[in-house]
Structure 1
């Protein structure tokens, strides 16, 4: 059963990645733009707006790549920058309602499908699933945080060198 659960988690991650790619491609975004937009939305939902620096760290982008992503997302109407009133050097990133509407239009049908799946589980079963997924997300996040900052760009071949 453990192997099957891991296979299903891998299959979910693959499908979620493909869906994110389809969203990005269908809306003129780079994959990293979609990841950045999701990070901004998630931070705002949690009551903690991101600065460009924190966004770059969250998504794994250099300063220049973060600026380019924010510029593209701003130009497309998905987010905007807000200068801090106390410290005018500090800028935070916020989603635009029109950009959120695009996301809801794309992902809304999926949310309805997932709601249908969840409706087949009791509250106790949903609590168990929530606990499991929370622990899995935490395990993956901790593993990622412990990785070396510079990973090789190519996987080793059977001979031990880069592919």
Structure 2
């Protein structure tokens, strides 16, 4: 069921909607770049940190899983993890049942540092969310979930295609 725009408001045109999504993505990307610069990291390192943070812990994310998510080579993943480990953001452990398997975990101090940096983002998110009814927020959550799923599927499809 498609919800109608409230009375007195014009529907958002498709191009405008796309520009709004691009603007949101760009601002979030810039915040990530700023965090990377302030932390002495590369932008790819921040993407790796986010992937590690989203992974279930335990077991943590494997370097192969990180490679697949970020579309990097094995060597690039090793370089990213080496930088993140030296900076104290992650640590690697060996699987207790299969010592060949390595898992990457987010270091609790790194979570605190990122939390402090991104707390103003969370505050602004809360402030904006408070402007909407729970039903409207549920619709936004559903939209963002579906967009993320669709874009992840597109990314995976394109990466699976032969070059």
Structure 1 Cα separation of the partners of residues 161 and 104 of structure 2? 27
Residue 64 of structure 1 aligns to a residue whose secondary structure is helix
Cα distance in 2 between the residues matched to 1:99 and 1:44: 16
Alignment of 1:14-163 (within 5 A): 14-44=26-56, 49-148=60-159
Provide closer, same or farther for how the CA distance between residues 107 and 141 of structure 1 changes in structure 2, counting only shifts above 3 A: same
Considering only aligned residues, what root-mean-square deviation do their CA atoms show, in Å?
1.8
1:151/1:6 CA distance change after superposition, 3 Å:
farther
- Alpha-carbon contact 2:59-2:103 (below 8 Å) kept: no
Which runs of 5 or more structure 1 residues have no equivalent in the other structure? 153-163
- Number of residue pairs matched by the alignment: 151
Q: TM-score, normalised by structure 1?
A: 0.87
Q: TM-score, normalised by structure 2?
A: 0.87
Q: Distance in 1 between matches of 2:91 and 2:161?
A: 31
SS at match of 1:142: helix
Q: 5+ residue gaps in structure 2? A: 1-11
Segments of 4+ moved more than 3 angstroms:
148-152
Distance 1:42 1:76 in 2: 19
In structure 2, the partner of 1:161 is none
Distance 2:121 2:131 in 1: 16
